[in-house]
Amino acid sequence: MPQIKDHAYWLERSEKLQIEGRAFIDGAYVDACNGATFWSQSPIDGKPLAAVALCAEVDVDLAVAAARRSFDAGVWADKSARDRKAVLLKWAALLEAHAEELALLESLDSGKPIGDTTGGDLPGTIYCLQWFAELVDKVHGEVPATDPQFFGTVTHQALGVVAAVVPWNYPLLMAAWKFAPALAAGNSVVLKPSEKSPLSALRIAGLALQAGIPAGVFNVVAGDGAAGRALSLHPDVDCIAFTGSGKVGREIAKNAAASNLKRVWLELGGKSANIVMADCPDIAQAARSAAAAIFSNMGQICSAGSRLLVQRSIATALIGELLEVSKGYQPGHPLDPQTVTGAIIDNAQLDRVCSYIEIGKQQAQLLSGGNRLSLADAGAYLEPTIFLAEDASARIANEEIFGPVLVVILFDTLDEAIAIANQTEYGLAAAVWSSDIKTIRTATRKLKAGTVWVNCYDELVDMNFPFGGFKESGNGRDNSAHALSKYTELKSTIIRCC
């Protein structure tokens, strides 16, 4: 009889979990050169999980040197696309075989509900790796029409060494969005996970080697901002891809310019608007979707629907539905499969979110939530919080909070809603709910956002769609065939035939 995977099951597995905290450089797990470590602590209860190698500049140098040697030797870059595909698919199969272990690592390390990591994050990571593996032998160059005396081609070539600096909110998934296309294109990679959630990235490095990715092609260096800074300044890194805050993104761009003008791809913040018109086809569904858009993953999503813009005539009905639905997002223990909402990543982030709640109380009407909770004897937990703001220019309606805090703003006309939606510095995502095709067409055309959903919010997981933002939400796109080209250089080859 199969074992029931309940709260007790995951607690028992967590007690037996073997955790790797060393860096992975040139095909081997190694300590930091100076022996320094830091503790990875679980936001579930504040307890330490593992001592992790605190990589410094010298460790980054070793990882980059290994990546450069492997690239120049052609042990990966010179493989046929078909051969790279086979290895990446084998790696994806190993991730699937170890999915429970990796999901548990992510839940312990980031405070995410085990239902999210087993049902969303790990399947999404595997899907991403499989998708780019399957894509890489199906892309082609060009043969431009030219003078008959000449023959020419336009081809894509791997850049070389790619550094990926990724955040803590989706530790493996955000990493896969970078390393999957970079590796598929033939590059060697140095991955720097967030110091707040490094464990799953360190674990998959060993599986990469087991799958057949040659030593030096995939390296993982854990550490704080010093390691990321060293990568952004390193003269032998050809490209750096980053997901995180605008402040750090600016520093990375500045460092890239100050060093070797390496390619820079940035996926930064958001303050996304979810617009509900009076002719919304289903108010109850819009309320459910709005709650999921901000309270899923504890609101720690760059594309979270953190601003809910509601046409005034339906405000009472929609807010009533929303308040009822939000009761289902009360935090619980992340290792309980029944839990929908887990812990904030750490107390520093919880303090930051709570400071915005205090600001919000001065600028808007608190409709529900706003209180810290004590669960699992400790940990970082917060009630889902909803404000009604009369002033669309309030700080909580314009600054990224990155927590389970929703700001409801009322409007009268579509033009007003679009103006409010576009007034922030960000342009990552947006949504519009309406039954009128003219309204939908106007909104989707005028909203300054990289992704616009209609009568839904972030409900489709499909790698065919590029993800990224307008304005200060960054540049370039993750996912889709467009992402593969970010990690290549275009080369024109012209041959005189006669």
Q: Which residues carry out catalysis?
A: 267, 302
Exposure b/e, 303-328, CB count within 10 A at least 16 = b: bbbbbbbbbeebbeebbebbbebbee
Tell me how far apart the alpha carbons of residues 428 and 438 are, in angstroms, rounded to a whole number: 23
**Half-sphere exposure of 473 toward its Cβ, with a 13 Å CA cutoff?**
27
Chain Cα centroid distance, residue 176: 9
Helix (H) or strand (E) holding 73: helix 57-73
Tell me how far apart the alpha carbons of residues 164 and 227 are, in angstroms, rounded to a whole number: 11
Burial class (CB in 10 A: 0-12, 13-18, 19+), 53: buried
The DSSP 8-state label assigned to residue 111 in this structure reads -
Q: Tell me how far CA of residue 251 lies from CA of 43, 233, 477, in angstroms.
A: 28, 10, 20
Q: Tell me how far CA of residue 346 lies from CA of 54, 271, 290, 327, 478, in angstroms.
A: 19, 21, 25, 23, 27
Q: Both tokens of residue 265? A: 């791809």
**Half-sphere exposure of 192 toward its Cβ, with a 13 Å CA cutoff?**
28
List the one residue out of 274, 283, 246, 267 whose CA is nearest residue 421: 274
* Radius of gyration (C-alpha) of the chain in whole angstroms: 23
Tell me how far apart the alpha carbons of residues 222 and 175 are, in angstroms, rounded to a whole number: 13
Tell me how far apart the alpha carbons of residues 200 and 105 are, in angstroms, rounded to a whole number: 6
74 — alpha (psi -120 to 50), left (phi > 0) or beta? left
Residue 30 CB: number of other CB atoms within 10 A?
A: 17
